[in-house]
């Protein structure tokens, strides 16, 4: 990169700027995973037609083209897009589906899989249709498109196995008393091997993750120092799922709409290299709080002052990167298909990371 970062850690760099310009500085075929959540808000609200949807697609397409170029052949692009209604009417915008179609039909991405992020903690909205008139259900699912550059991106679901449900644990303990092996009407052969312990269940593409962060060091420090916290953060469990499944340690993860740098922080905790691009210096400066856990408030104030220069190239020393292992992503299901991100496997939990910025 020609540009200097705002700050860097042992594993990553956070850059202030328009990500289209910053992407242009990256060599082709150099990134393993782009994980991001762009601004969803339709850029110009209209009360009729789908003009705003078309505008959104035209706005985001150049970013998609650049992401396609910088991704390795084995790479993936995970795009979290919240749904929305068209302005003034109880009719859904199709913009997230139009983005999906444009990226596949016009840029050449493959849709490796469509994921759905269910946020059980989401407040009911829009108020007019859901709370007042009660003619629409609460919208609590984001579409998360997993794009790939080729048909076979690097992926391994064994790295995100979910804990078995109690029912499945019982089956593994005592398969004979549980059922008689037979063919299901669907044709699936439910043989005795179904009761084999594989260390966890295959996750589903419905990720249940409450977005309820209220006590992280990031929020605490934003409050203490009177800086505005980012209003549209995703929970670390969301990037953690895809980073684990789609990359190995030391692979490079990029977030092109970095916000409060949830992705970079998660990548660092999972021992991946990372880069974050964010247009707002203020948002990116306070994202450094994520890496300053345990530092004195004087030190943090000094760091914040240094970060008033968008190209400060500030090296963060020692940091504590801890992912909250109590916040699981779960699918409540009578069957064994329970999804939790923090299943057995390397990479989760608290990791003290010694910084070494040369």
Ligand X SMILES: C[S@@+](CC[C@H](N)C(=O)[O-])C[C@H]1O[C@@H](n2cnc3c(N)ncnc32)[C@H](O)[C@@H]1O
Q: Which helix (H) or strand (E) holds 263?
A: helix 262-269
118 φ/ψ angles, rounded to the nearest 5 degrees: -95, 120
Residues 209-248: x where in contact with ligand X by CB under 6 A, - otherwise, as a string: ---------------------x-xxx--------------
Cα–Cα distance measured from residue 260 to residue 211, given in angstroms and rounded to the nearest whole number: 14
**Residue of 140, 255, 265 lying closest to 208 (CA atoms):** 140
Pairing of strands 141-148, 319-322: unpaired
Applying CB under 6 A, does 257 fall inside the site for ligand X?
yes
Cα–Cα distance measured from residue 10 to residue 354, given in angstroms and rounded to the nearest whole number: 7
Task: With H, G, I as helix, E, B as strand and everything else as coil, classify residue 80.
Answer: strand
Applying CB under 6 A, does 117 fall inside the site for ligand X?
no
Applying CB under 6 A, does 143 fall inside the site for ligand X?
no
Residue located via tokens 């992705």: 263
CB of residue 232 to ligand X, shortest distance in Å: 4
How is residue 224 written in tokens?
A: 């203490």
CB of residue 200 to ligand X, shortest distance in Å: 27
Applying CB under 6 A, does 279 fall inside the site for ligand X?
yes
Among candidate residues 80, 139, 251, 255, the one labeled active-site is 80
Q: Which is nearer to ligand X, 39 or 108 (by Cβ)?
A: 39
For residue 92, give the DSSP letter: B
Applying CB under 6 A, does 262 fall inside the site for ligand X?
yes
Applying CB under 6 A, does 259 fall inside the site for ligand X?
yes
Our answer to whether residue 32 is catalytic in this structure is no
Our answer to whether residue 38 is catalytic in this structure is yes
Within 10 angstroms of residue 324's Cβ, the number of other Cβ atoms is 17
CB of residue 13 to ligand X, shortest distance in Å: 14
Q: Which is nearer to ligand X, 19 or 96 (by Cβ)?
A: 19
Rounded to the nearest angstrom, the gap between the alpha carbon of residue 86 and the centroid of all alpha carbons in its chain is 25
Contact 337, 201 (CB under 8 A): yes
Near ligand X by CB under 6 A: residue from 278, 307, 328, 342:
278
Q: Which is nearer to ligand X, 66 or 163 (by Cβ)?
A: 66
Contact 211, 234 (CB under 8 A): yes
Residues 281-320: x where in contact with ligand X by CB under 6 A, - otherwise, as a string: --x-------------------------------------
* Chain positions contacting ligand X, by CB under 6 A: 18-20, 37-39, 230, 232-234, 257, 259-260, 262, 277-280, 283
């Amino acid at each position: 990169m020609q540009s200097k970062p705002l700050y860097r850690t042992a594993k990553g760099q956070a850059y202030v700027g328009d990500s289209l310009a910053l992407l242009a500085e990256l060599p082709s075929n150099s990134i393993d995973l782009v994980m991001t959540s762009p601004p969803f808000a339709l850029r110009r609200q209209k009360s009729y037609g789908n003009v705003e949807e078309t505008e959104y697609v035209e706005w985001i397409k150049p970013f998609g083209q650049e992401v396609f170029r910088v991704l390795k052949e084995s790479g993936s692009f995970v795009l979290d897009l919240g749904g929305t209604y068209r302005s003034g009417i109880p009719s859904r915008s199709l913009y997230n589906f139009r983005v999906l179609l444009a990226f596949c039909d016009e840029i050449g991405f493959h849709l490796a899989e469509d994921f759905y992020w269910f946020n059980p903690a989401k407040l009911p909205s829009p108020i007019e249709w859901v709370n007042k008139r009660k003619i629409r259900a609460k919208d609590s699912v984001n579409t998360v498109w997993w794009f790939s550059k080729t048909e076979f991106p690097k992926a391994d679901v064994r790295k995100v196995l979910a804990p078995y449900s109690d029912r499945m644990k019982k089956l593994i303990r005592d398969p004979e008393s549980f059922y008689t092996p037979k063919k299901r009407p669907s044709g699936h052969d439910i043989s005795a091997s179904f009761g084999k312990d594989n260390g966890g269940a295959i996750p589903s593409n419905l990720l249940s993750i409450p977005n309820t962060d209220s006590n992280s060091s990031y929020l605490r420090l934003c409050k203490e120092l009177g800086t505005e916290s980012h209003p549209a953060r995703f929970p670390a469990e969301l990037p953690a799922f895809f980073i684990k499944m789609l990359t190995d340690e030391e692979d490079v993860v990029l977030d092109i709409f970095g916000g409060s740098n949830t992705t970079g922080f998660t990548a660092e905790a999972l021992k991946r290299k990372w880069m974050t691009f964010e247009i707002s210096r203020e948002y990116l400066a306070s994202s450094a709080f994520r890496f300053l856990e345990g530092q004195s408030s004087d030190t943090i104030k000094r760091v914040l002052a240094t970060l008033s220069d968008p190209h400060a190239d500030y090296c963060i020393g020692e940091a504590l990167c801890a992912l909250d292992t109590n916040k699981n992503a779960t699918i409540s299901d009578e069957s064994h298909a329970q999804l939790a991100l923090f299943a057995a496997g390397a990479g989760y939990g608290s990791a003290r990371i010694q910084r070494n910025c040369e």
